[in-house]
Structures are given as structure tokens and as C-alpha cells.
Structure 1
Amino acid sequence: MARPGRAPRRAAPGLAVARLVFVALVAICLLTGVAGGLLRLGVVIPATASSEWLGRAGLAHAALMICAFLGTVIALERAVAVKLRAAFAAPLASALGGICLLAGQAAVAAWLLVAASLVFAWVNVVVVRRQSAPHTQLLLAAAGTWLAGNVLYAMGEGSGAVLPWWFAFLVMTIAAERLEMTRLMRRRPAAPWLLLAVLGAMAAGAAWSWLSPRAGGVLYGLSLLLLAWWLVTYDIARRTVFAQGLSRYMAVCLLGGYVWLGVAGVAWIATALGHPWRDTALHALGLGFIFSMMMGHAPVILPAIARVKLQFGWPFYLPLAALHLSLAVRLGWGSLEAARRVTGAQWNAASIALFAATIAGAVIAWRIRSNAQEGA
């Protein structure tokens, strides 16, 4: 006889189909975004060489990765949390925006992203009304930066104006979640105010980058550096890294990401001052920091979104190590030799694929273990 509580409750057929649709849309946006990023470095996946969407994916690489993939995942998480059907309009619109980008409907895609961020902002207003706290207010501010970036994108502004806002959305969302976790440890009363000041500087740098890329870029990069300092100083990860199991893994992901956040800050300033560090600035932030955070939080967030359970184990460290090593090759050695840069980018893609395989294996491992326990 099955033991109660051993397996997640079976979803209604309609909900199961909806989850599969979202999983498929997110997977398409991620895979095509990665393929587009490789294309920008001259690497073409053989099976996609003659596909029309590949060139579009290359042009829309940032929009696919930040808005259509990560934006959809974050919006899904928030929709599940607030338990409002209307909230799912945000991730649906952002995912469909990615599909429209691949279909060559760039204008439709851009306004779908605007619609997604508008609904997402409303969802965060609901969250603040339910629980008004510094971290929920910061989540609402992060939603506002996504909306600002999407409006500029729909207006046809270039990456110099749009990317700071898009990255601010992701960085501020992560910072808000880490701010909430600092409540679990003793901290100086000024710590939350310091964080708000740093993130205020980030928003100011994003806005200034539209008018003055040099001055705005320097301020933006400085805010990334200061945020890395704040996280290393106040985040609970510097204590939980000495724990065991999942807590230690998450801490390793976080602390490694904070290092890359500091690298991104230096590279962003250097780029604004005219040095050829743009690839380092974008990918130390997008892959080194943000994807490290994603890898660390996935074992906790994915079960809530997809209603699956994972068997955590040492294999989770493999894609994490591969990500950091591939970034070191791409942004370190690759800054001196173009071929190594391409190799590093290919390894970046491989580390993401390895992480997806690890997640799938963890789901299967948990089901095998659960069935064995039920049969005992």
C-alpha cells in the first residue's frame, strides 16, 4: 500500500497539459537562445545550419535568454506563488514573445514582452499588498526595470540602452531573494539600506546609459562591484557553505556567482571606458552570476513550479564546475586567443546541457527511490 505523502498529488489533466506547454516553450527559448549565442561566435550546430530561425535567434540572443527564458521562469514562479490564474498571462506572453522572435515577428514579440512585464508588475503589486516588506518592495522595483527595458526594446532602442535594464531586472530579483534570507542571520541595521542604495545606483546607471553610455556604464559597473561586496559580506551563504547536502551546494553556487558578479562590474566599467571587455561584462554577469544563481535555486524552485521532486546528490556539482571552468577559458584565456573564446563558449553550452540532464536524472532517481519505498 502506498504511503501517504510519498509522491506529489496527481494534477488535473488540464493543469498537466498547461505545465507541459510551459515546459516546451521554456525549453525552446533556452535551446534557441543558446544556439543563437553560439552563432554569434561563428559556431553552427549541424542540424540547424539551414534553419531560418537560427539567424533570428542570433540577432535576438539576449531577448531570448533574458526575457523569453529567464523572464518566463521568474514569472512562472511568481504566478505559482500568488495562485491567481491571471498571473500566468505574464509567463505565457513572454514565452510567446520568444516564439515570435524566432518566427520573424519582431514587433509583435516586443509588444508581447511589454505586455508580459505589465502583468508581471501587477502580480508584484499583489505580492506587496499581501506582504509589504523590503524584499517584496524590491521585487516590485525589479519588475519595473523589466518593464522599462521592454518598452525601450519595443521602441527600437539599441542594446546599450536596453541591456542594463534587462540585467537590472535579473540582478535585483536575485538581490531581493538574498535580502529575505539575511533575516535568518544577525546583520547590521544599515545592511538593507546599503543594498537599496546600491540598487538605486544600478537603476540610475541603467537610465544614464541611455543618455550617456560612458558615465552611465561606469556607474552601472560600480553598482555591480558594490553589490558583490554586499552579498559576500551579508549573505547567509558564507555560513551555509560549511553545512552539508543541498545547503552547501546552494552556498557554493552563490559564492562562486558573487565572484563573477565582481568580475562583471570591473568589465562593465572597462567597456564603458572604451576597452574591449564587452563579452566579459555580459557573460560574467549573465552566465557566471545569474546562471550560477539559477543552478543553486533550481532544486528548490523547480519542484514548486513543475510539481516534481528531485533526488539531490554530488552529480549537481558537475555542471556547476563545468560552467565556471568554461567561463574561465572563455573570459580568461579566450580574451587573448579567439579560438579559446569559441571553445569556452561551446563548453558554456555543454555545461547548460549537462545541468538539464542532471535535473532530469534527479527527477528519475527520486521516482525510482519513491517506488522502491512504496513497494517495501
Structure 2
Amino acid sequence: MTPRRRATAKPAASHALRASRALFALLVFAALAAGVAGGLLRAGVALGDKPVPWLAQAVVAHAFLMVCAFFGAVIGIERAVAVKRRWAFAAPLGAGLAGVLVLAGLPDAAAWLAVGAAAVFVAVNGVVVTRQRAAHTVLLLVAALALWAGSLGHATGWLQGAVLPLWLAFLVLTIAAERLEMTRLTRRPPGAAAALHAVLALMLGGALLSAAPAGSLAGGVAYGLGLLGLALWLMCFDIARRTVRAPGLPRYMALCLLPGYGWLAVAGVAWMAMAAGLPARDMALHALALGFVFSMVFGHAPVILPAVAGVRLQFGRAFYLPLLLLHLSLALRLFGAPLDGRWLGLGATLHGVALASFMLTLAGAALAWRIRHHAQEAHHEHAVHH
């Protein structure tokens, strides 16, 4: 290739990269925004006077949008960047487009596209395992299989009782694998690994048992016990117990993780209560999906985002505000709503505020880093010239 052709190819590749990033960002944002809107409507929060077709779809497909479309795209992008294979990006692209299809009123096409995206995601994680066979990579593969199995059940109508537990197991297993990876050098008692495998197997077994009406009680109890056991394991063995005393970003991450483990324990108890017929469904689902999963998102984003998107962040105290809003809004919803139904809508609204403020905080942190970096470069150039 001649120098002129190389020079022409580089800008073209750069434009294609920027366009692909913009497309993925748009798909991720659309899935999150629609999922949040659907959740607000489910909680009784009015979002306008006139009926909007895509909002009606968002209400019905709230879980699909949040797990398969949003998290499927976000985690899929992270894994595709890690394996550095072009075909790997078919997983997050398919997940994001599945969210668009379901909002367009094509739920069957969306469901099968999500199955295909999950199948590619399984293959991507298979590549990860072949490159590095370790406990956390195998766990990531199991998480991908849970997403695929749940999506297949959703598309076919089979094992309907297991779909939501399997989707949530995908998130829980992915987070457990990330914590294993980040703390793999930490010394643990000899039986710690076996205990972790046991509680995760209990959770997965409970999800599968939940598919049969006759096994819904046993499955729900097993699933809840698995969640509770994982919460206790993380509280005992995760490095966050020590990093909470460190300054800066490590302390912030620990203060995301430790309360998240508390919400995971609440979710485990509530899941067992729900299986026994008690009115604990909202607490089981949202203590897990918001209290645990999004606490982990808030904690890991400042570390993962620079590695995946190449966006540098200037960490500051502003990160604590969305975290505080998340936990306060969830406490209002889960413990206030049983006493006064109006707390449900208020809590759900504040969930949206917490997520929006977190995104604004990330954007502000990226801008602050760029300003500081350019100022340092200008100061360095000035010092060199003089």
C-alpha cells in the first residue's frame, strides 16, 4: 500500500470507528431509556397524557429491555473489546437491535434476535475460556449460557417460570466472575471456592426448577438461598472489606459494593418469601436488579469504561451523589410503599434521577479529565519553550 493510500485508509477507519461507537451508544441509551420509562409506568408514574405506542411496548418488555437489550449490549461490548474479534461485536449489536425491534412492536423478531445475540455471546466467552482457563472465565461462560437459555425460553414459550430467574442469574454470575477476577490474588480459606460453587449451583438449580409449576416453591427457595449464600460469601471474602478504608476511587468502589451485597441478601430473603406466596415480588426483583446490580454498575464503571471505551475519567466526590440517590430511592420504594402506595411512584422516579445523575457524572468526569489533561500539556509545552 502506498503512503497516500495509507493516509486515506486511516481517516476512513477512524470515521468508521467513530460511527460504530456512536451506533452502539445510541442502541445502549435507547434500551436504557425505554427500560426506565417502562419501569416508571409500571410503578404508576404518568409520562404524558397521550398514549405512545413504544411506551406501551416498553411496559410489557421492561425486563427484556433492561437485561437482554441494555445489559446484553453493554456486557457484550466489553467482552468483544477484550477478545478483539470483529464477529464478536455481533452479540452487542444484535442485543441492541432486539431492543429497537421490541419497541417497534415486533416482539417475536426481537426475541429470536436476542437468542442469536446470546448464542454469539456464548461463543465469545468460549474464546475467553480457551485463552485463559480460570475460575472467573468459566463463570463468565456459565453466565452467558444462562442468558442464552433464558432468551430461548422467552422466544419459544418453554420454561416460562425460569426465564426471569435465568436472565437475572446472567447478571449475578457475571458480577460474581468480575469480583473473582479483581480479587483473584486474595488469600481465602481452602473451602471458600467450593462454597462459592455450591451457592451458585443452588441458584442455577433453583432457576431451572422454577420452570415447572410443581417445582416453583422449591425452585424459588433454592434460588433465594443461592442469592443469600452469595451475598454472605461476598461479604466475607471480597476485598472491599479492606479497600473501604482506602482513599479515593478504591473507597468509592467499596462503598458501592458492600451495600450492594446487603441488597443481594435482602433479595435472597424476599425471593424465598415470594416463592412461599407472600407479596414480596417487587422487593425480590428490585433489591436484586437495582440494589445489587446497579450498585455494581456504579462501582465498576469508573474502571471498566476507560478500558472499554477509551474514555478517561477524573474521579471526584460527585460520584457519591448518584449512589446515595440510588440507595435512598430503593429504601423508599421497598420499605415505604407497603405502608403508603405513593412511595412506590416516588421511589421509582428517584431511581430514574439516580441513573440520569450517574450518566451526567460520568460525562462531567470525562470532561474534567480532558480539561485537566489539556491544561497539563499546555503547561508542559510552556515550560519546554521557556
When normalised by structure 2's length, the TM-score is 0.93
Cα offset, 1:296, TM superposition: 0.3
Radius of gyration: which is bigger?
2
Q: Which amino acid aligns with 2:203?
A: M
CA distance in 1, matches of 2:221, 2:110: 31
| Number of corresponding residues | 367
Specify whether residues 158 and 343 from structure 1 end up closer, same or farther in structure 2 by C-alpha distance, changes over 3 A only: farther
Task: Give the CA RMSD over aligned residues.
Answer: 1.4
Alignment of 1:178-197 (within 5 A): 178-197=179-198
SS at match of 1:45: coil
1:38 paired with 2:45, answer no
CA distance in 1, matches of 2:322, 2:160: 29
Contact 1:323-1:347 at 8 Å conserved across structures: yes
SS at match of 1:325: helix
Alignment of 1:1-376 (within 5 A): 12-46=14-48, 49-157=50-158, 160-211=161-212, 212-376=215-379
Cα offset, 1:291, TM superposition: 0.2
Specify whether residues 369 and 159 from structure 1 end up closer, same or farther in structure 2 by C-alpha distance, changes over 3 A only: farther
CA distance in 2, matches of 1:312, 1:71: 27
Q: Which amino acid aligns with 2:338?
A: S
SS at match of 2:44: coil
Q: Which amino acid aligns with 2:155?
A: A
Percent of aligned pairs sharing the same letter: 58
Superimposed CA distance per residue, residues 98-123 of structure 1 (whole angstroms, 9 cap, x where no aligned partner)? 00010010010001110011000000
SS at match of 1:183: coil
SS at match of 1:270: helix
Which has the higher relative contact order, 1 or 2, with Cα contacts under 8 A spaced 6 or more apart?
1
CA distance in 1, matches of 2:361, 2:68: 24
Specify whether residues 67 and 49 from structure 1 end up closer, same or farther in structure 2 by C-alpha distance, changes over 3 A only: farther
Cα offset, 1:213, TM superposition: 1.4
Contact 1:184-1:236 at 8 Å conserved across structures: no
Cα offset, 1:275, TM superposition: 0.5
Contact 1:181-1:235 at 8 Å conserved across structures: no
CA distance in 2, matches of 1:159, 1:364: 45
Contact 1:179-1:192 at 8 Å conserved across structures: no
Specify whether residues 263 and 159 from structure 1 end up closer, same or farther in structure 2 by C-alpha distance, changes over 3 A only: farther
CA distance in 2, matches of 1:157, 1:333: 36
CA distance in 2, matches of 1:160, 1:40: 20
Match of 1:7 in 2: none
Q: Which runs of 5+ in 1 are unaligned?
A: 1-9
Cα offset, 1:190, TM superposition: 1.8
Match of 1:5 in 2: none
Contact 2:326-2:354 at 8 Å conserved across structures: yes
Q: Which runs of 5+ in 2 are unaligned?
A: 1-10, 380-386
SS at match of 1:50: coil
Q: Which amino acid aligns with 1:69?
A: F
Contact 2:217-2:275 at 8 Å conserved across structures: yes
When normalised by structure 1's length, the TM-score is 0.95
Superimposed CA distance per residue, residues 169-204 of structure 1 (whole angstroms, 9 cap, x where no aligned partner)? 000011111122332322112211211111111110
